[in-house]
Structure 1
């Protein structure tokens, strides 16, 4: 069945689910469909056509053709189109937020915040219109040596489901600004927002063929896209498992691959920290998007002098937060994205309890008739956790917070760095020397001191170890969509 408020014939999604390929909406279901399931109650919102390898090929060929003309346009011209997309997102924010709330389960107010983030990515990309696009190097008289930026061509962008609009913008905006074309493969959980954005981009002036969205599962549609011989680069945000598969698939083509993968962010609280601020930050950073963020506070290490008071305060806050309908006014915590993800989180909590952890609050599906169906999980705090347990080392994509006491810097550094991940870390202390020692020693791509995220568009969001390769945002993120050409000219006697 179709969601009547999303498919009303007047909005961005039209009257039925359809792929967006080479500037056209397509409802071809010959290659099967994938259901979009509302995480609130398990109902089917839509059945989205899967893109066959032939459809992927048409999308890439159209992108290759459109990219040639787009690359010849000036940076100022490209920036004007991207600014139009930014404005269109603002004008259609309510509709886009509703799509995200329905298919992903994010509360409406948070989904609206995601629209603001998406606008920021397009805005930053457009700001590159006056950038230096190369350099002239010293050489002999009558000769010149220059290095200039060139687009990579066709970019394959593989998106996750947790921020389907913001990460679409995070990848598409800089790729287009750099002169590339993009073929997007959204998550099968959240394809509707990507399809709506593609229509929006076309209306805002993105040329036909320059941007397509192909839907389907990673092992089919994703593989066809990543291994296509005319794809010049792959950028992917998602799980570490998925990143390894994409890296392997792209190896034969020897093309650039940028991966933003999972995380296990520690939040470390020293005895001199502002405890009020640290408690609020720990709760906020754990419950972002129901804990489904790679930069979430995945495990909190609290100095033993503060542990009991910290635990008491966090449990009190967690126990007062009830999950609710994402579309309801004032809802602060929605369901997990799918039953599969809920079961995975439940299994990790159960394993931790069997290993000796204690559930202070939550622990599973909330009580109440309204939670009997859907992917609901109560905000959960675990005590009695040791740094060697899986729940302290493996990513938990859900509203579950393990709390671990520590006695000194050496101990907490060893514990925090023992995970295979290395994306984000948080430190709370009033001691500047200690803060800088932690920044030096933590093996993570980004470190926050006395604050939590989200990351900013002018920064560089990059992971170490199993958290990724490459990165997003800012000058460094923009440059991954470029390659460089060196030119030697003899122009004198």
Structure 2
């Protein structure tokens, strides 16, 4: 299947190239891209050097100056055309995501729907208020606070949603009047390159969007530290976020960090158990558990614990793991061998510490001799709150289920990790729901529902889960800065 993505008329062309300042550029050295379902390398992308960063940023500076002068309505017209191009190429974009990332084709189509939604929300900002008039202390004066673009944005994006997170950052950056240089994950560079082609087809002026491929700790570092970079936005691991924040601190520029999570699902004994089981199941195994908002640990009140576990394991037993291009597959492989091995180590360590494997725990049954990075959906019981499997982000299809007795106990456990992104509560008691909303130390609280988050919301983490986000009104504002203008138009004596 991947070979069919590289035809002459395909978005990527026969040889994937970097998109820098309006040019498609190749290099002698390339980095392989493999298919997680088979482990086979099917193409390669250029390995950028520092001169490519220089070219991208210098062309961005020239393009951004002119773009910032355009009214919001003109910028919105360009973004509208991007949405149209995404619609025209939606199936090809989805299959690129499947080929390099491994999620099922149905999930990939949903991701491309998210791409359109991010651009649609950004272009709706053509009607926004772009400044304020403040009361002055004297007559004949005006005090205005204007909203202006930050300039050139460096975007570091991860591998779990390689197309959607491109849109999540590029859409508000462009609409706010900025230029943006994207550094995609080394594991999934193709989706960003395909989206760059979409931007080119839509008439985005040359230089406003560039995609530079290469190792993050080399290319990403050079991009962050370059004097022309005015802002950095990162979605990725907490480790990466720490490193980039330290690099950006030397320049004192704004940084947006969307980092890891350890989302709890809390099921009280008065919950709608059918709803809680179904949604906890969906929230754990979506994208093979490779979502920062995923159900990483489930706490169930003791009165319904045994029934919850029974129903949940029954659902897992019926989950179809298989070829992600198959329309009937519900879960694909892990994105890479290293990620698969990390998940396996988490499970093995938990079992050594006393956890019981209710189902799964290794390669899916019948796939032991199959190539690719497969791991079975796994449920663990006999787990305590201090185990690494409960405290550290697994980012894979593994769920520990833990019984609790009291409200106070479960809130303490839920808040006990270093992460604070997303949390979920299931209860029919409004008082319990609202108290939990107050007491949970997370940037997002879902009551009797799961995500994904909506584009008009604000996907923001607390603690080691980050600093701000890119979506909604608050996310859009991160791509702007303020300029205060004092004007005296009174008669001079």
TM bracket, shorter-chain basis: over 0.9
1:12 aligns with 11
What CA distance in whole angstroms lies between the structure 1 residues aligned with 2:277 and 2:313? Answer: 10
2:105 aligns with 108
Structure 1 residues 54-453: aligned runs within 5 Å: 54-139=51-136, 140-369=138-367, 372-453=370-451
Matched, 1:39 2:36: yes
Secondary structure of the structure 2 residue equivalent to 1:4: helix
1:478 aligns with 476
Secondary structure of the structure 1 residue equivalent to 2:303: coil
Shift of 1:452: 0.4
Secondary structure of the structure 1 residue equivalent to 2:275: helix
Deviations 1:112-170 (A, max 9, x none): 01111110000000000011000000012101101010101000010000001110000
Is the CA contact (8 Å cut-off) linking 2:103 and 2:332 kept in structure 1? yes
Is the CA contact (8 Å cut-off) linking 1:34 and 1:48 kept in structure 2? yes
What CA distance in whole angstroms lies between the structure 1 residues aligned with 2:260 and 2:221? Answer: 20
Unaligned runs of 5+ in 1: none
Deviations 1:307-339 (A, max 9, x none): 000000100111111311111121110000000
What CA distance in whole angstroms lies between the structure 1 residues aligned with 2:367 and 2:422? Answer: 37
The alignment's C-alpha RMSD in Å is 0.9
Shift of 1:370: 6.9
What CA distance in whole angstroms lies between the structure 2 residues aligned with 1:208 and 1:88? Answer: 17
Deviations 1:240-293 (A, max 9, x none): 000001001111111000000000000000010000000001100001100000
What CA distance in whole angstroms lies between the structure 1 residues aligned with 2:419 and 2:325? Answer: 34
Secondary structure of the structure 1 residue equivalent to 2:380: strand
What CA distance in whole angstroms lies between the structure 2 residues aligned with 1:325 and 1:69? Answer: 47
Shift of 1:372: 2.8
What CA distance in whole angstroms lies between the structure 2 residues aligned with 1:45 and 1:86? Answer: 29
Q: 1:451 to 1:387 in 2, by over 3 A?
A: same
Shift of 1:369: 4.4
Is the CA contact (8 Å cut-off) linking 2:2 and 2:96 kept in structure 1? no
How many residues in Structure 1 have an aligned counterpart in Structure 2?
A: 490
Shift of 1:17: 1.7
Is the CA contact (8 Å cut-off) linking 2:100 and 2:188 kept in structure 1? yes
What CA distance in whole angstroms lies between the structure 2 residues aligned with 1:292 and 1:384? Answer: 24
Is the CA contact (8 Å cut-off) linking 1:157 and 1:235 kept in structure 2? yes
What CA distance in whole angstroms lies between the structure 2 residues aligned with 1:328 and 1:25? Answer: 33
Deviations 1:432-473 (A, max 9, x none): 011000000000000000000010011000000000012121
Secondary structure of the structure 1 residue equivalent to 2:6: coil
Is the CA contact (8 Å cut-off) linking 1:40 and 1:373 kept in structure 2? yes
Is the CA contact (8 Å cut-off) linking 1:446 and 1:462 kept in structure 2? yes
What CA distance in whole angstroms lies between the structure 2 residues aligned with 1:368 and 1:271? Answer: 37
Deviations 1:29-67 (A, max 9, x none): 2xx221111111111021111110110110011111100
What CA distance in whole angstroms lies between the structure 2 residues aligned with 1:113 and 1:329? Answer: 13
Is the CA contact (8 Å cut-off) linking 1:322 and 1:378 kept in structure 2? no
Is the CA contact (8 Å cut-off) linking 2:288 and 2:332 kept in structure 1? yes
Shift of 1:4: 2.1
What CA distance in whole angstroms lies between the structure 2 residues aligned with 1:100 and 1:458? Answer: 24
Is the CA contact (8 Å cut-off) linking 2:172 and 2:470 kept in structure 1? no
Unaligned runs of 5+ in 2: none
Q: 1:354 to 1:336 in 2, by over 3 A?
A: same
TM-score, normalised with respect to structure 2: 0.98
Secondary structure of the structure 2 residue equivalent to 1:244: helix
Secondary structure of the structure 1 residue equivalent to 2:432: helix
Secondary structure of the structure 2 residue equivalent to 1:293: coil
What CA distance in whole angstroms lies between the structure 2 residues aligned with 1:360 and 1:475? Answer: 43
Secondary structure of the structure 1 residue equivalent to 2:5: coil
Secondary structure of the structure 2 residue equivalent to 1:317: helix
Shift of 1:3: 3.9
TM-score, normalised with respect to structure 1: 0.98
What CA distance in whole angstroms lies between the structure 1 residues aligned with 2:279 and 2:106? Answer: 19
Secondary structure of the structure 1 residue equivalent to 2:191: helix
What CA distance in whole angstroms lies between the structure 1 residues aligned with 2:93 and 2:368? Answer: 25
The one of 487, 490, 493 equivalent to 1:492 is 490
